[in-house]
Protein backbone atom coordinates (compact mmCIF):
# COMPACT_ATOMS: atom_id res chain seq x y z
CA UNK A 1 0.00 0.00 0.00
CA UNK A 2 2.88 2.37 0.66
CA UNK A 3 4.07 2.28 -2.96
CA UNK A 4 0.58 2.98 -4.21
CA UNK A 5 0.37 6.25 -2.28
CA UNK A 6 3.90 7.46 -3.00
CA UNK A 7 3.06 9.18 -6.31
CA UNK A 8 -0.05 11.06 -5.16
CA UNK A 9 1.68 12.15 -1.94
CA UNK A 10 4.70 13.47 -3.87
CA UNK A 11 2.40 15.37 -6.25
CA UNK A 12 0.42 16.90 -3.38
CA UNK A 13 3.63 17.87 -1.57
CA UNK A 14 5.01 19.51 -4.72
CA UNK A 15 1.87 21.64 -4.97
CA UNK A 16 2.24 22.66 -1.33
CA UNK A 17 5.94 23.44 -1.85
CA UNK A 18 5.18 25.58 -4.90
CA UNK A 19 2.40 27.44 -3.12
CA UNK A 20 4.30 28.06 0.11
CA UNK A 21 7.73 28.60 -1.41
CA UNK A 22 6.53 31.20 -3.89
CA UNK A 23 3.90 32.84 -1.68
CA UNK A 24 5.59 36.23 -1.71
CA UNK A 25 6.99 35.93 1.79
CA UNK A 26 10.78 35.97 1.82
CA UNK A 27 11.02 33.70 4.84
CA UNK A 28 9.14 30.89 3.07
CA UNK A 29 11.29 30.96 -0.08
CA UNK A 30 13.69 28.26 1.25
CA UNK A 31 10.76 25.82 1.16
CA UNK A 32 11.19 25.80 -2.64
CA UNK A 33 14.46 23.90 -2.16
CA UNK A 34 12.40 20.79 -1.37
CA UNK A 35 11.21 20.52 -5.00
CA UNK A 36 14.35 18.80 -6.36
CA UNK A 37 14.08 16.19 -3.60
CA UNK A 38 10.45 15.46 -4.44
CA UNK A 39 11.29 15.26 -8.13
CA UNK A 40 14.25 12.92 -7.50
CA UNK A 41 12.16 10.63 -5.26
CA UNK A 42 9.50 10.14 -7.95
CA UNK A 43 9.06 6.44 -8.72
CA UNK A 44 8.41 6.94 -12.45
CA UNK A 45 8.75 9.45 -15.26
CA UNK A 46 4.99 10.12 -15.24
CA UNK A 47 5.01 10.92 -11.52
CA UNK A 48 8.10 13.11 -12.01
CA UNK A 49 6.24 15.03 -14.73
CA UNK A 50 3.19 15.43 -12.47
CA UNK A 51 5.39 16.59 -9.58
CA UNK A 52 7.01 19.17 -11.87
CA UNK A 53 3.66 20.29 -13.24
CA UNK A 54 2.07 20.63 -9.83
CA UNK A 55 5.03 22.61 -8.51
CA UNK A 56 5.21 24.95 -11.50
CA UNK A 57 1.48 25.61 -11.72
CA UNK A 58 1.30 26.33 -7.99
CA UNK A 59 4.42 28.50 -7.99
CA UNK A 60 3.34 30.56 -11.01
CA UNK A 61 -0.34 30.84 -10.13
CA UNK A 62 -0.31 34.64 -10.51
CA UNK A 63 1.09 34.58 -14.06
CA UNK A 64 -2.21 34.61 -16.01
CA UNK A 65 -3.58 37.62 -14.14
CA UNK A 66 -0.22 39.39 -14.30
CA UNK A 67 -0.07 39.00 -18.08
CA UNK A 68 -3.65 40.22 -18.43
CA UNK A 69 -2.88 43.29 -16.32
CA UNK A 70 0.44 44.05 -18.02
CA UNK A 71 -0.92 43.83 -21.56
CA UNK A 72 -4.39 45.16 -20.66
CA UNK A 73 -5.83 42.11 -22.36
CA UNK A 74 -8.16 39.23 -21.59
CA UNK A 75 -7.18 36.44 -19.27
CA UNK A 76 -6.76 34.02 -22.20
CA UNK A 77 -3.28 35.15 -23.32
CA UNK A 78 -2.09 34.78 -19.74
CA UNK A 79 -3.62 31.33 -19.46
CA UNK A 80 -2.01 30.32 -22.74
CA UNK A 81 1.38 31.55 -21.58
CA UNK A 82 0.90 29.77 -18.24
CA UNK A 83 0.06 26.46 -19.91
CA UNK A 84 2.87 26.71 -22.48
CA UNK A 85 5.47 27.65 -19.86
CA UNK A 86 4.36 24.81 -17.60
CA UNK A 87 4.44 22.37 -20.53
CA UNK A 88 8.03 23.41 -21.26
CA UNK A 89 9.02 23.04 -17.60
CA UNK A 90 7.35 19.63 -17.35
CA UNK A 91 8.87 18.39 -20.62
CA UNK A 92 12.40 19.27 -19.52
CA UNK A 93 11.95 17.62 -16.13
CA UNK A 94 10.29 14.53 -17.58
CA UNK A 95 13.04 14.05 -20.17
CA UNK A 96 15.84 14.53 -17.64
CA UNK A 97 14.34 12.20 -15.02
CA UNK A 98 16.18 8.87 -14.70
Which domain, by its residues, includes 48? 2-96
Please give the Cα distance from 63 to 96 (Å, whole number): 25
Give pLDDT, residue 1: 46
Q: What is the total count of domains within the chain?
A: 1
Please give the Cα distance from 98 to 91 (Å, whole number): 13
Q: Do 67 and 73 touch, CB atoms closer than 8 A?
A: yes
Please give the Cα distance from 19 to 2 (Å, whole number): 25
pLDDT of 87 strictly over 90: yes
Percentage of the chain with pLDDT > 90?
73
For the stretch 4-32, pLDDT in tens is 899 999 999 999 999 999 999 999 999 99
Amino acid sequence: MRKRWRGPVLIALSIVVGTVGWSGTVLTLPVAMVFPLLWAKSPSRVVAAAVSGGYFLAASRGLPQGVATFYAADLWPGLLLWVMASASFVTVHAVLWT
